[in-house]
């Protein structure tokens, strides 16, 4: 399996390019602000053809470039119906501070927000086979109403069962914030309890921000997961847009 990841834009959002091998079709996960150039470089260097864009949720720092990326490669954009409205009105998911930053972030750009031409919705438990890669969709609301994670088998190493693209659900040592429109902390904790703590330790987590981790590492050290499991909960910090 081929995976390339890079942080993009002022929020350092991780964008991932996933394919079975160089020279094949590929899937783009979470193309945020300034991600289009990085995607183009990976695609060019490894002779890839993007066919789908997967969005873990509808916050602008994860989907700023979804339309130019999908449009450039004639790719399909996938999002959960709980966040479908944010493709139409991304400001609805922003904090007041982030909305105030928009003029600076846009600079001299006169481009208006537009949805991709081909948008499809996905459901909890759905299996998507895209570019020859199998993805399992887990609906994990809390950060937003339509937040999801994607799990895919990782056959290249015996000690790694799956990869999990966790968006802003789970980070190394933290979780996503829940104080933005559509966020809800009790719902986030249920998602972590039902969709994270039930997973095997050997799943590698590729988060929306920061370094990669694993389910086992987070189960043992993440203060939020420790609290859910009845352990210590000191030093908690949330992250995200």
Pair type for strands 25-29 and 13-19: antiparallel
Cα(34)–Cα(83) distance, rounded to whole angstroms? 22
**pLDDT tens column, 63-113:** 999 999 999 999 999 999 999 999 998 888 887 777 777 666 666 554 567
C-alpha separations of 230 from 144, 149, 224, 236, 237 in Å: 25, 24, 10, 15, 18
* Cβ–Cβ < 8 Å for 153, 146: no
How far apart are the C-alpha atoms of 131 and 18, rounded to whole Å?
9
Is 25 in contact with 49 (CB distance < 8 Å)?
Answer: yes
Please determine, for residue 125, whether its predicted confidence score (pLDDT) is greater than 50. Answer: yes
Is 234 exposed, middle or buried (CB count within 10 Å of its CB: 0-12, 13-18, 19+)? exposed
Whole-number pLDDT of residue 110: 46
Who wins on pLDDT, 84 or 234? Answer: 84
How does DSSP classify residue 241?
-
C-alpha span between 56 and 54 (Å, rounded): 7
Residue 13 DSSP symbol: E
φ/ψ region of 157 (left if φ > 0, alpha if ψ in -120 to 50, else beta) reads: beta
Token pair belonging to 184: 């809800």
Pairing type for strands 170-171 and 174-176 reads antiparallel
Q: Cβ distance 196 to 229 under 8 Å?
A: no
Domain borders along the chain are 2-239
pLDDT of residue 159: 79
| CATH class of the domain comprising 2-239 | alpha beta
Does residue 35 have a pLDDT over 80?
yes
Q: Is the confidence at residue 1, as pLDDT, over 50?
A: yes
Mean pLDDT, rounded, for 175-179: 95
Question: Which pTM value belongs to this model?
Answer: 0.91
The pLDDT assigned to 239 comes to: 62
Q: What span, in angstroms and rounded, lies between the C-alpha atoms of 227 and 108?
A: 46
Query: Are 29 and 150 within 8 A, CB to CB?
Result: yes
Sequence-ordered strand ranges (E) for the chain: 2-8, 13-19, 25-29, 49-54, 76-79, 119-121, 127-130, 133-139, 148-153, 162-167, 170-171, 174-176, 204-207, 213-214, 238-239
């Amino acid at each position: 399996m081929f995976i390339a990841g890079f942080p993009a834009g002022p929020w350092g959002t991780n964008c991932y390019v996933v394919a079975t091998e160089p020279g094949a079709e590929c899937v783009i996960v979470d193309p945020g602000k300034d991600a289009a150039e990085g995607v183009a470089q990976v695609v060019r260097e490894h002779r890839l053809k993007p066919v789908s864009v997967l969005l873990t949720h509808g916050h602008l720092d994860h989907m700023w470039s979804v339309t130019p990326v999908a449009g450039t490669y004639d790719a399909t954009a996938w999002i959960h119906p709980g966040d479908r409205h944010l493709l139409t009105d991304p400001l609805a998911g922003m904090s007041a501070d982030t909305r105030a930053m928009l003029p600076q972030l846009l600079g001299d750009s006169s481009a208006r927000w537009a949805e991709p031409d081909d948008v499809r919705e996905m459901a909890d438990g759905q299996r998507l086979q895209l570019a020859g890669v199998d993805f399992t969709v887990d609906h994990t609301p809390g950060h937003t109403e339509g937040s999801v994670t994607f799990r895919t088998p990782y056959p290249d190493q015996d000690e790694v069962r799956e990869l999990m693209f966790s968006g802003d659900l789970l980070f190394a040592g933290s979780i996503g914030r829940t104080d933005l429109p559509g966020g809800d902390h009790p719902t986030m904790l249920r998602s972590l309890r039902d969709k994270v703590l039930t997973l095997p330790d050997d799943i590698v987590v590729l988060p929306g921000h920061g370094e990669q981790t694993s389910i086992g590492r987070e189960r043992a050290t993440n203060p939020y997961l420790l609290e859910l499991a009845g352990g210590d909960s000191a030093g908690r910090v949330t992250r995200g847009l």
